[in-house]
Amino acid sequence: MSSLRHVTSFIILVVILVALVLPVLAIQYNVGVTSGQYVKYGNFVGSGPGYEAFNDYGFLNLQVISVSGNAVTLLSTGQFKNETALPGNGTTDVWNIETGTDNGTPSTQGPIIAANLNQGDAIPPSNTYSVNQTTDQTYLGITRSVDILNVTVSTPDYNSTLNYVYDKLSGMLLESTSTTTTQAQPLPITSTYSYSVVETNIFGSTSPSPTVPEFGTQMTTFIVVSTILIMSILIVFKRKGFYA
């Protein structure tokens, strides 16, 4: 009976500590921008069917109009090189960085993600993509910590590779490239596009993040909490007389 009580006490302790550990390890999806911040894109280059129009783009500007909880409203403005408005000029979209939706519709590659994600962290919507790499890159002469998302889509009709680089502290997209190869006769057709940030005020309002160990902050937290858990179990065993 005494041993049963010991085992019961041990199980209760483990359940309590696990309940405390799980919230600690959960990914926090927080907004990293404030109203008035913006990213202006340029350096548009496109080739292949459907992408030649990118060469005529002058700029695309995304400005944060408002932030409400995890929802960010972005105003899109842009022009072709001939100074006529881009399609969608003057429209607004509400991006929820916690659910991964654009105006309520799931969107897997948006212009903004949660701030301070690390390599391996999932990017909403659920069961889609994760941050492939967290590293440092230089934009507009400033070195920033960035989250890189690489996506490969393969179908019987085409193969696509997409690369998105997000500023880690703000979550805003800094650079995008894409290559699509369509199965066509007599030869496959390859189309590409790319663009990147040419002006922004998000760099001046945030500080560079500290270097993150390769295994990430989630693993660091797990190790610390696991150590506390083991020490607590050993203390219980000692008090219950399982060892001298």
pLDDT per position as a tens digit, 105-138: 999 889 999 999 999 999 999 999 999 999 999 9
- The pair of structure tokens assigned to 224 is 């610390």
- The pair of structure tokens assigned to 3 is 């041993």
Looking at residue 74, its pLDDT comes to 98
- The pair of structure tokens assigned to 192 is 């590409």
Looking at residue 134, its pLDDT comes to 98
Burial class (CB in 10 A: 0-12, 13-18, 19+), 115: buried
Looking at residue 27, its pLDDT comes to 87
Q: Where are the domains of the chain?
A: 1-30+225-244, 31-212
Query: What residues of the chain score a pLDDT lower than 50?
Result: 4, 7, 13-24, 206-225, 243
CA distances from 165 to 17, 91, 132, 159, 172 (A): 37, 23, 10, 20, 9
CA distances from 234 to 93, 237, 238 (A): 54, 5, 6
Looking at residue 29, its pLDDT comes to 96
Looking at residue 232, its pLDDT comes to 56
Looking at residue 185, its pLDDT comes to 84
Looking at residue 212, its pLDDT comes to 37
Looking at residue 239, its pLDDT comes to 59
DSSP-assigned states of every residue in 71-96: EEEEEEEEEETTSPBPTTTTEEEEEE
Looking at residue 138, its pLDDT comes to 98
